[in-house]
Chain A
Amino acid sequence: MARLLSFAAFILSIAASPSYAAANEGDLLNGGKLVLTNAVSSIEGASGGGIATWATISGLETDGGIGVTGHVTMIELPDYGWQSQGVAIGIANRVELSYARQNFDTRDVGTTMGVGQGFTLNQDVFAAKLRLAGDLVYGEPLLPQISVGVQHKRNLDGAVTTAVGANSANGTDFILSASKLILSQSLLVSATARYTEANQTGLLGFGSAAGKGYDFQFEGSLAYQLSRRAVIGAEMRTKPDNLGLGEDDWMDLFAAYAVTDNVTVTAAYADLGSIATFENQRGAFLSAQIAF
């Protein structure tokens, strides 16, 4: 009996010791993803390439953990300046919640548009993504990681979106993505269908007063892994032209490098076509991301 009691006390003392508790809470911000498999932050704040959303979940966490990501992005164009920043939380490599703020400087175009030189269009993007099936790297080679997402966008310049003929300053995009790293070819392939009524991703509002609304758009990325830390690729993204301003599809050529396991920098040449009738908006895309 005494032996049994002392054994029980021994078990209790182990259970109450701090080291045992520590072993159970070690997954928070503890990382664990393979380098670059958290992808980078797309312009809408969701994990993806530069302009395309992927099925990846942000943050370095794996099954049991929580990860966080922050990013800043700038795009320098002939007539405009894009700047955005955002944060994202990844939960158990299953759920992603993100927020991004986009600031689009109209520079001299602002004068032409009658809103004033250097007028900046602002937009908030609140997004959620859920991984439904598959794994980017592991599992069946032919089963990609598949995610669904929703991106709620709130344009803060309703007067401008109304003036250019948009139906609304707020809108919601619905997203279905499939992404896979095809290891045998060192290739990452990603395809996304986006159900959206956003004009210039929402910076010029949503739909048109004339009645144009939701339609399916496509985002595709193809990337080649040069090393554990370096990847180069190309992306394209189709866009609607609800406003009749000649809105073009987007494309970019990018290189991303994981400077450390936590920091990724992305540089790209982006062709954003015509924006509000100002054509040939091609320029440099730069983004930095920190993730845990």
Chain B
Amino acid sequence: MFSIMLALVMLQESPAENIDWDKEFDVEETVRDPVTGEFPIEPFSQDNANAGAEPFDNAKIARYFGGQEGIRKIAERTVELSEQDPRISAIFVARDTVRLKRTLFEQFCYLLNAGCDYSGRDMMAAHAGLGVKMADLNALVENLQQAMGEQDVPFAVQNRFLAKLAPMSKDVVTR
């Protein structure tokens, strides 16, 4: 096997020095927005309904989360924990986590009635092609629980929030 591969490698003609490989393969380099630090995405119609659930009808729950500041910490911490989580870190490699932290914050903030609009895509579009399994979603939930716990959100309140998110599983888990 090895000798065959070696022979095949030897057979290769060496490429010319001055080829623009990006051009050769139609690779377009995307660059982060200098202001937001996010990569551009395909245009879509923006709507709070994309958040995937109706928000709470008052801001009582949001106060347990520490308002917008606490919600932002929880959303960012959830992403950070997940990036470090060997069970699911591969899903976040090559994802725009700068954008994810912002949109996750907006989604949480909107659902918790803490005074935000959600500017991200709907759950199905946002998770299309990620190949998320049920075990991956469970790992993410655990990370969110840890992040909420670190902000001293009482467990029963955590569950009230998770109740908003749980029905979205059908759009998130795709295999």
Contacts and interface: CB of A to CB of B under 8 A. Distances in A.
Interface SS of B by simple majority = helix
Contact of A34 (B13, B141, B170): B141
Given A64-B133, A228-B155, A32 B138 contact: yes
B94 interface: no
Tier of interface size on chain A: 20 to 34
Nearest to B15: A3
Contact of A9 (B8, B13, B135): B8
Contacts of B134: 32, 62-63, 93
Contacts of B142: 34-35, 228
Interface stretch (B27-35, B114-122, B157-165): B157-165
A2 B12 contact: yes
A27 B142 CA distance: 19
Contacts of B93: none
A139 B135 contact: no
Contact of B9 (A6, A182, A184): A6
Interface string B98-135: 00000000000000000000000000000000000111
A138 B159 contact: no
Contact of A138 (B4, B11, B156, B166): B166
A2 B166 contact: no
B87 to A, nearest CB: 8
B155 A5 contact: no
A227 B163 CA distance: 15
B19 interface: no
A208 interface: no
B41 interface: no
Contacts of B156: 186
A139 B142 CA distance: 17
A139 B8 contact: no
Interface string A182-196: 111110000000000
A33 interface: yes
A68 B98 CA distance: 40
Contact of A6 (B1, B12, B160, B162): B12
Contact of B166 (A33, A139, A186): A139
B16 interface: no
Given A138-B169, A184-B160, A184-B163, A5 B138 contact: no
Given A9-B8, A139-B170, A183-B166, 19 more contacts: A2-B13, A6-B9, A9-B5, A13-B5, A31-B135, A32-B139, A33-B138, A34-B138, A62-B133, A62-B135, A63-B133, A64-B133, A139-B169, A141-B166, A183-B163, A185-B159, A186-B155, A226-B155, A228-B145
